[in-house]
Amino acid sequence: MTDKTLPLIGITSSLHISRDVGMQSVTHFYLDAVKRYMGFPAILIPAGLAPEVAISRLDGILLTGSRSNVHPSHYGQTPTPAHEPFDEARDATTLPLIRAAIAADIPVLAICRGYQELNVACGGSLYSAVHELPDRLDHREPKDPPNQDVRFGANHAVHFPEDSTLRTIIGAELAQVNSLHNQAIDKLGDNLRIEATAPDGTIEAIRHTKARFCLGVQWHPEHQPDNNTTSQPLFTAFKTALLKN
């Protein structure tokens, strides 16, 4: 941990367009979760920041979700409309940042797009539309949900393998999670281990085996933290790793 009173968390931001002006931002859910469960200061990591600069000043990294997807050129595929939308400036920042964080053994918690970035950064690949695969669930968010509780509510179960780190963290074999993604892991990246699966076999969580703390989940633990049984354990484990950094 760097010489500060409390650990400093870097939170990845995404490009949003407001009134024809590009903005780097993050939803308040991530900030609320960090405040509620960790109580640590956090700053946004803007696109274009050199990874060595971020690593030199940060004690942990929270990789956030986004409506955009990792550009398929980063895992050897040709882009199609199914892969869109993109945020290539974010890709150019997060992928080298993840590799630098792992090399420096800085704790990482990756969520949704961040989880997919972690897999790609480690040499893995993605399915562009998991719901189009045979015998797979529809993992996309509900169409025209009547309210936010339905949109972010539990969608399916995930199973934690018996010897997984996540089973220890969550304290259970199964958990109900929300689901708001089109893409999913195809080929698993180097040194990554499966930490959770959906009933249809979709990989829902991964861990980097060479890092002290580097976890990724496909669902959104920052949403509905009072009802999401994975929220507090995940953020608490991240906090513990930061305090040991």
Residues in CB range of 174: below 8 A, 6 or more apart: 157, 158, 159, 160
Is residue 222 annotated as a catalytic residue, yes or no?
yes
Is 55 in a helix, a strand, or coil? helix
Query: How is residue 180 annotated by DSSP?
Result: -
Choice among 112, 117, 122, 214 that is catalytic: 112
Is residue 162 annotated as a catalytic residue, yes or no?
no
| CA distances, 166 to each of 23, 86, 148 (Å) | 35, 30, 27
Choice among 71, 139, 208, 220 that is catalytic: 220
Is residue 71 annotated as a catalytic residue, yes or no?
no
Question: How many alpha carbons lie under 13 Å from residue 168 in its C-beta half-sphere?
Answer: 5
Residue 243: phi and psi, rounded to 5, are: -65, -25
In angstroms, rounded to a whole number, what is the distance separating the alpha carbons of residues 46 and 24? 7
The residues assigned a catalytic role are 112, 220, 222
